[in-house]
Amino acid sequence: MPSSTRRPLALLLAVVGAWLLVLTAPGASASAPAAPACCGNVQTVFKQVVPVDGSTYANEAVGQVRVSNGTIEDAQGDQIGTFSASHTILSINPATGMRKVQNSCTITLGNGSIMTSGIDFWPVGSAPASGTENTVAIVGGTGFYAGATGVAKQTLMANGFYKTRLIFKNAR
């Protein structure tokens, strides 16, 4: 075999061999899901939402911004912080009866603040139903949460509180 063919063939065999080593390593698989990118910290808090802008669900329109704030409590019901949020209606789909909402929220706790942002889908003309779940991105923070990334998983409970699991890693 001419040397001009041997070099590319050797390179190809080296790449294929390396790939086979990766696939045959303990626990490895070509179809195995990637390990989650986060997270070293999990904190569960409860948000009580209080609209402060006087808006109602009766007159919704694209571009409308709802503002809310409230308390953050721990599992025992003790107040451990506050939050402020804005929700902007991006679209309303009459066919599905749902509205697409961009939300931004700052949760302030004793050791810093954590910021979230994401998209929710809520029914038109009413508050979300008990049991409604959504997941939004954690996009940063201050203090203990400086540089935090991850997700906030929220579930609306029957008592009107959102159970919020903050799953994140810090930049430090």
Domain ranges of the chain: 1-34, 41-169
Per-residue pLDDT tens over the stretch 77-124: 899 999 999 999 999 999 999 999 999 999 999 899 999 999 988 888
| Dist. CA 159–CA 141, nearest whole Å | 28
The answer to whether 44 and 166 have CB atoms below 8 angstroms apart is yes
Average pLDDT, the chain: 75
| Strand-strand pairing, 133-141 and 112-123 | antiparallel
> In the CATH hierarchy, which top-level class contains the domain 41-169?
mainly beta
